[in-house]
Copies of this chain bind each other. A is one copy, B any other.
Amino acid sequence: MTAHPAQPTLEVPARVIPVPASLSPEAQAYLARGPLRVPPNPALDDIEDWRMRIAAIDQLMLARLAQSVQARPEGFQVDEISVGGRTVYVVTPPGLAPGDTRVYLDPHGGAFIIGGGELCRDTGIRTAAKLGMRVWSPDYRMPPDHPYPAAVDDCLAVYQALLRERRPHELVVGGVSAGGNLAAALILRARDEGLPMPAAAILLTPALDLSHSGDTFHTNLGVDTVLTGSDRSEMLLYAGGHDLRAPYLSPLFGDFRAGFPPALLASGTRDMLLSSTVRMHRALRAAGVPAELHVLEAAPHGFFGGNTPEDRELDNEVRRFIDVHCPPP
């Protein structure tokens, strides 16, 4: 008998990495904050501890939201509708052309466990402000009480509701981080269930591989100041025992030859999810799907927090891509 040879490895010494002077002052300041410090995750089966932790993070984020209320975009109409018993925040930006019937379906981010309720409403407003589009922001179910496939089921139900109100070519599906996962997953589910495809998909620093098999999970560990650990408890909590590589959990492993809408993908050179993003780009293109890639210099997961020239340049790329594939009337 022979043992399998060990997977070859590369030893990388410790390094000190400066904040690049080529970035905008705002992006430099964002990176200069250093790594986000997060307490360790609870044990996977300590549901009560997860509930407390999620509630604590939600409180923290709501407090931040309240503080930044003056910086919030104004004049947005927010209607709450119910789809399958879940709230969907329907956000209409001020000055939207009356005939602009397009909708951006935007499952929020938050590692599959946070970002619901008031934060979900806020996500919808911010996306509508960035894109100048009507946004549907679904308050989907989350762990620990509702692991996979609850979130995908909820997002798919909202997509089906949209299909009753709109034609598919008026719809864009997109998301950031875990929201990018859910956007891609709901598209694969919709396709497999015979539903028509939306006009475009927008996958921003997307969490497309819950098995964390990409190289930048290693190379950008310690380099990404936003995703700072190698613990993937949130993914396991969300997966609820399902195969992490199943396509509705990790859309990177889907078969795109059976169809996928034109897609814009974006990441940053410091992003732990850079590998997932570029691998998805390659997988889509190998399947003949029109897909374009944008990578921001030195950007960690989530880019630079949304309020830098670099973030706005990316917003402009997304608007342009949507206008090409889902043109305004």
Contacts and interface: CB of A to CB of B under 8 A. Distances in A.
A161 interface: no
A55 to B, nearest CB: 31
A34 B9 CA distance: 8
A15 to B, nearest CB: 5
Interface residues of A, number: 51
Most chain B beta-carbon neighbours within 10 Å: one of A8, A16, A220, A274: A8
A132 B9 CA distance: 37
Interface stretch (A60-68, A115-123, A289-297): A289-297
A28 B7 CA distance: 9
Closest 4 CB pairs of A and B: A8-B32, A215-B298, A12-B222, A278-B295
Contacts of A225: 10
Interface in A274-323: 274-275, 278-279, 281-282, 285-286, 292-298, 313, 317
23 contacts: A8-B18, A8-B32, A10-B31, A10-B34, A10-B222, A11-B14, A12-B16, A13-B14, A14-B14, A15-B222, A20-B215, A214-B297, A215-B297, A275-B297, A278-B295, A278-B296, A281-B295, A282-B296, A282-B313, A292-B292, A293-B294, A293-B295, A295-B295
Interface in A28-46: 28, 31-32, 34-35
A219 B294 contact: no
Nearest to A222: B12
Contacts of A19: 7-10
Given A34-B8, A279-B22, A282-B313, A218 B269 contact: no
Nearest to A209: B22
A168 to B, nearest CB: 26
Main secondary structure of the interface of A (DSSP, over half): mixed
Interface of A: 7-22, 28, 31-32, 34-35, 213-216, 218-223, 225, 269-270, 274-275, 278-279, 281-282, 285-286, 292-298, 313, 317
Contacts of A281: 294-295
A3 B162 CA distance: 58
A250 to B, nearest CB: 12
B17 A14 contact: no
A219 B272 CA distance: 12
Given A214-B297, A215-B270, A317-B285, A11 B16 contact: yes
A22 B223 contact: no
A16 B219 CA distance: 9
A318 B130 CA distance: 33
Nearest to A286: B313
A213 B35 contact: no
A298 B296 CA distance: 17
Contact of A17 (B10, B35, B269): B10
Contacts of A296: 278, 282
A20 B213 CA distance: 7
B275 A298 contact: yes
A272 to B, nearest CB: 11
